[in-house]
Amino acid sequence: MLANPAKTVVILGLTKQGKTFRPSDWAERLAGVMSQFRPGGTQPGSHLGYSPWCTPGAVEGVSCVVLHQDLRDHDVMAWDFCINFGRDNDLQLTDRRPESGG
């Protein structure tokens, strides 16, 4: 796990070498897969929106996924899936906050 006093971890769409991660909609795809992990569990129609614990966004114009630590508290395997996605693809993990309006 990351040593992060903040309640969120941001997976940036930049590799550690500074290259833009592709495909361009990777953040929406990852957040879409994680839509079932939400407060109160899966509800009818919940697949139509992102989980508040895993949302796409942007930091300084770079696509990102914001993970809230409540996801880890709810389902550590789902959390690990996201963190390992970032690590396996050599993406930058940070606590920088995305811009409003995502």
pLDDT in tens, 23-69: 999 999 999 999 989 887 766 665 578 999 999 999 999 999 999 99
Please tell me the total count of domains within the chain: 1
Does residue 85 sit within a domain? yes
Does residue 65 sit within a domain? yes
Which string of b and e fits 7-33 if b means at least 16 CB within 10 Å?
Answer: ebbbbbbbeeeeeebeeeebbeebbbe
Does residue 102 sit within a domain? no
* Domain span holding position 60: 8-39+47-94
pLDDT in tens, 60-91: 999 999 999 999 999 999 999 999 999 999 99
Does residue 63 sit within a domain? yes
The CATH number of whichever domain residue 59 belongs to comes to 3.30.70.2340
